[in-house]
Amino acid sequence: MKRRICIRVLVFFLLSSLVISGCTQNLPAPNPRGDSSSGGISSGNAITEGNDRFALELYSNLANDPANKDQNLFFSPWSISSAMAVSYEGARNMTANEIRNVLHFSDDRDSLREGYSDFTSQYNKIDAAYEFRTANALWIEKTYPILPAFSFNAIQYYQAHSQNLGFIEDPEGSRSRINDWIANQTDDKITNVIGQGVITPDTKLIITNAVYFKGIWVKEFEKIKTSQQAFRLSSGDTVPVMMMARNDTESLFRYGEKDNIQILEMPYRNDTGRPLSMLILLPREGNLTRLDNTLDINNLGDLKKTLKSQLVMVYLPEFRLNNGCQLSSTLQQMGMPTAFSPSADFSGIDGTQNLGIDNIIHRAYIDVNEEGTEAAGTTFVYYTLKGDHQNLHPPEFHADHPFIFIIQDSENGNILFMGRVLNPNEG
């Protein structure tokens, strides 16, 4: 009997986010958008709309998964979508159709490539006020033949670094080289991602994606105003949390409400890059169940249309989340089972139909406090051989109960990070 040689392709979707919001004085004025930023989701941009649809659908599936009941969530849809776009370059036939439908990719591969290339260039633009970069890489076993077209597209359109390594003769040295690249791309926020024994002589290709963000709030929180308050859980019980406050006469934010849901946009400082902000969705009744079940691209768009600049009394708890999840079963339920089956077709990678996805694992971390927000995450995909301003009565945005948060491109709505906080004291 012919011996089956296991071929493992590892795809790491990595993100590291650091947002520093100290009490610095004399900050430059924010980007003068006023209320002219997009109230909708995508402003007609197919890449953004596809990513946002995927983000909200993935959130709904994760939020309603019994395994995540009463659990906080945090993930990066943009990181997953970006890396899956590279993987999609190698997918064919039904495998490609299902990935395209679940990720909401364009039918036109050239348009998809150009769109991601454009976004990668824009997000990697040097900006004096914040730092945002995204990077991809192909790590190829030096004896394994990858199709030139696959490598070319990854390099040309996704700006992927490509390097041959000796997975067979030196798996540990190769592991160290990739871990060093990841650490460098994330300013050492993510280190030693690939553990000992993960890379074996059967590993043929590793695809990595890294995202890094470092920014500063336009309106900072002051530590002196932080105090211990009660946070009401979905069960009705309360837990003590450290509640940050921004309740002065300069507390101007874009705020709106609809269907008993409050929405707040908190921008990050920006000079020449794309404007980024955090959205917080807070149901007045204190329970996220209804919002978890109904949040989609249309509902989020309607909520964002209510945003207008005004004085808002803001109270936001410190929180730290450390989440990990296996996405293979979730993505299969969302409509892409073939990639995980013996019928998988990734012949666009190596010219054969021998590769199939074994598992997809995503991990993310975020820490929000007066100093700012720090986040990091990793995802593994295993392929194997198959067999208006002043207000006399300013609204109060008091996040003392569960809420959803989104870090987005505030000009076009592209969702970069997303999560929910059910209990700020639990990771």
> Each residue of 107-122: pLDDT tens digit?
899 999 999 999 888 8
Residue 55: pLDDT band with limits 50, 70, 90 = very high
Q: For residue 3, is it within any domain?
A: no
On whether both 143 and 235 belong to a single domain, the answer is no
**Is the pLDDT at 36 greater than 70, yes or no?**
no
Residue 118 sits in which domain range? Answer: 8-216+320-385
The stretch 294-315 carries a mean pLDDT of 95
- Give the per-residue pLDDT at 207: 79
Mean pLDDT over each residue of the chain, to the nearest integer: 81
Is it the case that residue 354 has pLDDT exceeding 70?
yes
Q: Are residues 61 and 205 in the same domain?
A: yes
Q: Does the pLDDT value for residue 326 go beyond 80?
A: no
Number of domains in the chain: 2
The confidence band for 255, taking pLDDT boundaries of 50, 70 and 90, is very high
Answer yes or no: is 1 within a domain. no
Whether 84 and 178 map to the same domain: the answer is yes
Q: Does residue 137 share a domain with residue 272?
A: no
Of all residues in the chain, the percent with pLDDT exceeding 90 is 45
Asked whether residue 367 carries a pLDDT value surpassing 70, the answer given is: no
Q: Is the pLDDT of residue 407 over 80?
A: yes
Are 198 and 262 in the same domain?
Answer: no
**pLDDT per residue over 90-101, tens digit each?**
999 999 999 999
Same domain, 199 and 73: yes
Statement to judge: residues 312 and 324 lie in one domain: no
Q: Is residue 427 part of a domain?
A: no
- Mean pLDDT within 56-78: 91
Cβ neighbour number for residue 162 with a 10 Å cutoff: 14
Return the minimum-mean-pLDDT range out of 70-84, 86-100, 115-129. 115-129
2 within a domain of the structure (yes/no): no
Confidence band (pLDDT; 50, 70, 90) for 364? low
Q: Are residues 274 and 413 in the same domain?
A: yes
Q: Per mean pLDDT, which range of 62-66, 343-347, 385-389 is the poorest? A: 385-389
Quick one: 304 and 337 in the same domain? no
One domain, residues 67 and 191: yes
pLDDT confidence band for 228 (50 / 70 / 90): very high
* CATH code of the domain covering residue 290: 2.30.39.10
Task: Tell me the whole-structure pTM to 2 decimals.
Answer: 0.85
Task: Flag whether 182 is in a domain.
Answer: yes
Same structural domain for residues 201 and 310?
no
Predicted confidence (pLDDT) at residue 33 exceeds the cutoff of 50: no
Q: What is the CATH number of the domain that holds 72?
A: 3.30.497.10
HEC profile for the chain? CCCCCCCEEEEEEEEEEEEECCCCCCCCCCCCCCCCCCCCCCCCCHHHHHHHHHHHHHHHHHHCCHHHCCCCEEECHHHHHHHHHHHHCCCCHHHHHHHHHHHCCCCCHHHHHHHHHHHHHHHCCCCCCCEEEEEEEEEEECCCCCCHHHHHHHHHHHCEEEEEECCCCCHHHHHHHHHHHHHHHCCCCCCCCCCCCCCCCCEEEEEEEEEEEEECECCCCCHHHCEEEEEECCCCCEEEEEEEEECCCCCEEEEEEECCEEEEEEEECCCCCCCEEEEEEEECCCCCHHHHHHCCHHHHHHHHHCCEEEECEEEEECEEEEEEEECHHHHHHHCCCHHHCCCCCCHHHHCCCCEEEEEEEEEEEEEEECCEEEEEEEEEEEEEECCCCCCCCCCEEECCCCEEEEEEECCCCCEEEEEEECCCCCC
| Whether residue 111 sits in one domain with residue 202 | yes
pLDDT of residue 24: 32
Whether residue 109 is contained in a domain is answered as yes
Name which residue leads in pLDDT, 125 or 264. Answer: 264
Q: Is 22 domain-assigned?
A: yes
Digit-coded pLDDT (tens) for 284-300: 987 899 999 999 999 99
Q: The tokens 């979508």 sit on which residue?
A: 81
Q: What is the Cα–Cα distance from 102 to 246, expressed in whole angstroms?
A: 40
pLDDT at residue 34, rounded to an integer = 37
User: What residues are paired with 381 via a beta bridge?
Assistant: 11, 360
